[in-house]
Structure formats: C-alpha cells, structure tokens
Amino acid sequence: MTLADMGARVIKVERPNGGDMARGNGPFIHGESSYFLSVNRGKESITLDLASPEGKKLFLRLVDRADVVVENFVPGAMRRLGLHYEALRRRNPRLVYCAISGFGQTGPYAKRPALDVIVQGMGGIMSITGEGPGRPPVRPGASMGDITAGLYAAVAILAALRERDRSGRGQMLDISMLDCQLAVQENAFTRYFATGEVPQPLGTRHPVFTPFQAFQTRDGWIVVAVVGGVNDQWPLFCAAIDHVELIDDPRFKDGYARTLNYAALEPVLNEAMRRRTTDEWLGEFSKAGIACGPVNTIAQVARDPQVAARGMFVDVPLKARSRRTAKVVNSPVRMSRTPPRVARGCPALGEHTQAVLGEFLGLKPDAVRALRERGVV
C-alpha cells in the first residue's frame, strides 16, 4: 500500500475462491470490509490458482514483466509451488523478490507461522509496554508486528530498485517480522547490553529522561516532555508547576538523576499536575517553550485542526464507478514534485483479472472466461 501511494502499480494476487481472508473481517462499510480497506487501498486484484499448472504458468508470465514480487507465505511454501526466488530469477534476472515472514528464511523458527501478536510477544515489545513491573503484558494498540515489517520491506524494495539501476540485477530480500521488532527497540537492547539490566514497562515514561510522560490533570491527561542535557528545561518546568524548591535538589540535577530518583519525585509531580485542567497546562507549558500535548482519543484526532491542515484523511470510492466512499488515513509522506496520492479504495476480488491478463499477457475476454470456468482464475 505504501508503494502504491507513491505511484507503484501494485497487483494483488488472490485465490479464486474467497481471496484474502481479511475480506471477511468486519466492521463493514456498505458491504465492504473496513479491515481489508485499511491496508489494501490503491491496489489491483487478480485471482490465480497458483497450485494449478495453468495458474502457475500465468503467474510466471506475469513475473517476466514485473519489477518486484512480494510474498508473505511461511518459508518453503513458494518453493513447493516452484515459484521460489531461484526459479523466478532465472526467468527475470532484474526481479526484486521480497519475502516477508514471521521469523525469516533461516534459523530454528523459520518454518513457524506467525501473526502480529506472536512476534510482539516473542520480540520483547510486550514486556516493556504497560503500567509497570508485575502487571500483565500489554499489546500496543496498533499492529506493530505487521506494520513495521511492511515498512521495512518498502524501504528495502526501494533500495534494491535503486541498486538495480546501477548493477542491472535484482536480488532477494528476506524480511523477518521478529527482526523488525528488535530494530524498533534499538534503545532498549542497547541499554540492556550496556548495563545488564532488563528493561521493564514504565507506562508512558521514558527510560532515561524525566519528566517525559503522560500526567493526569484535573479534567483529563496531558503529555509533557522536558528536554534535559546542556539546556535543561527542568527549572522552567519547576517554576510552571510552582515547585521551585526542586530546582536545586541534587537528586533531580539532570534527566537521568531524576529518573533514578523517580520514586521520590512522582508523588510531587502527580499532585501538582492535578491542580489544573489540561488546557490550562497546555497554555502554561507552551508559554515556557516546553513540549506538551493532550492525550487524544481517536475521535479527537479525527477532528484535530493540525491533522485536517495536513490532509491526513481522504475519501476514496469503495468500488469502481461507485458513488459510495469511505474515509481512510492518507499517506504521511509529503513530496514537492511527485506527492503520494490515494487514487482509489480497495479492489473487489478479481476486479482486474481481465485487464491485467489482457494488458500483460494478451489474453482475450473469451480466453479469460474459459480460465474462470476451469477455476484457474
């Protein structure tokens, strides 16, 4: 989807009977799965039975014309179909082949299936997410396992295509969801290797800088981040909360010292922050140049003027030539000459089979109709 937003022509290959299982997940908008729409907008859909000899031949002919093939089967599945990288490379040496899997193509876990919550648990991120030690593990509210693997795959594909411009050759990309979980926790692992201390869940707090967290106010919640280091904002923060006596307390001399002595500091900060409303604190901290923001609900974000100014929500048609639309999140990428564009919603199952097979393989409607009757497409 990310590549489609930026102008790539993305053709999704689905099973003739039912297609992507995500199509059956609710909630539904005018009969269309909002779950499927959220990550499949801008793509074309064709149906092919890759287990049939005819379907396999059609796929291989499409590969001859492709720049990139992306698959996310359990390792070994594409080899059993005869559609693994070595086979495709012999037909198209310029092909970039990206395999996304739970644990990668190598290692003792390679053949295991995995879903988002599995790699979040195994990758450690659930162990550092939550209210504190002794509390149950918490899954972040977004599918970090799926999303990070997809984003790293998009980056790798773009890099491989750029390299191909110089070498003329494609290559295989092995993207592991588990590997990507480790990559986004680089700080937690570096701190562990440096100190030997196992990182623990800290709620909204930062493991090094304090205060750097969400606080409860008189009527809600606010996030405050005090910049430490050479130009420590601690004195400004203390003045804003009417606790100037904390400025020269040696226990709180810098961000890390405040973190080490947080048990003594926490009740003072919590009591002070409950005295005013979120809006009052936003005005006070903004005036002092301290980074802050409200803790918004999804509904509040959807109405936020900054989000609106950036055009982060767009309406897309649910089906071709349909007047019914659905609102989706726009691409966050801004480019001066070639901006990403969400051109359309998600495709109906097999919506583009005739168009794609006709354009790339020269198949006439009668030929595609015959393939459909035999269950190949």
**Residue 49 catalytic?**
no
Is the Cα dihedral 353, 357, 360, 362 positive or negative?
Answer: negative
Peptide bond into 27 cis (omega under 30): yes
What is the number of other CB atoms lying within 10 angstroms of the CB of residue 334? Answer: 9
Go through the chain and tell me how many residues it has: 377
Question: How far apart (Å, rounded) are the C-alpha atoms in residues 141 and 145?
Answer: 11
Q: Which of 5, 146, 232, 249 is catalytic?
A: 146
Question: How far apart (Å, rounded) are the C-alpha atoms in residues 106 and 95?
Answer: 21
SS3 293: strand
Phi, psi (deg, nearest 5) at residue 343: -85, -30
Cα-trace Rg, the chain: 26
Question: How far apart (Å, rounded) are the C-alpha atoms in residues 22 and 302?
Answer: 24
- Residues β-bridged to residue 28: 33
Strands 212-216 and 172-176: unpaired
Catalytic positions are 146
